[in-house]
Amino acid sequence: MTNPNHGYPPPPGYPGYANPTPTRPLQSQTNTLAIVAFVLSFFISIGGLICGIIAKRQIAQTGEGGGGLATAAIVLSSIFMVLQVVWIIVVIAFVSHAISTNPQPTFPQTPMVLAALGHLGR
């Protein structure tokens, strides 16, 4: 067999393709319970708080995404629960003040009301 290059080294090959640009690894799936907790925090605060705490534990174990949603659900649920307690205290204070300033409610003196109270026909 004869060497076609006549003693010279083989010619260099074509330059290869450049390395592709590195891609970001795919984001892990968002924890479903974290989404549920975030939505519940606006409507049923205690449910949002409980689901948010459970979602945080699941995310720590599985490495799923959604930690921010779970944290937001816990914070929002806590804030809304405090606001609900304050609202209940305000309503109780308002009602107790209204009762103490006017202990005997007055009813309109219509025949239907008087009949219901038993004042007619006597």
CA 68-69-70 angle, to 5 degrees, is 90
What global pTM score does this model have?
A: 0.61
Q: What is the pLDDT of residues 50-106, one digit of tens each?
A: 999 999 999 999 999 999 999 999 999 999 999 999 999 999 999 888 888 876 656
Regarding predicted confidence, which is higher, 14 or 95?
95
| C-alpha closest to that of 41 among 87, 72, 84, 82 | 72
The answer to whether the CB of 29 falls within 8 A of the CB of 64 is yes
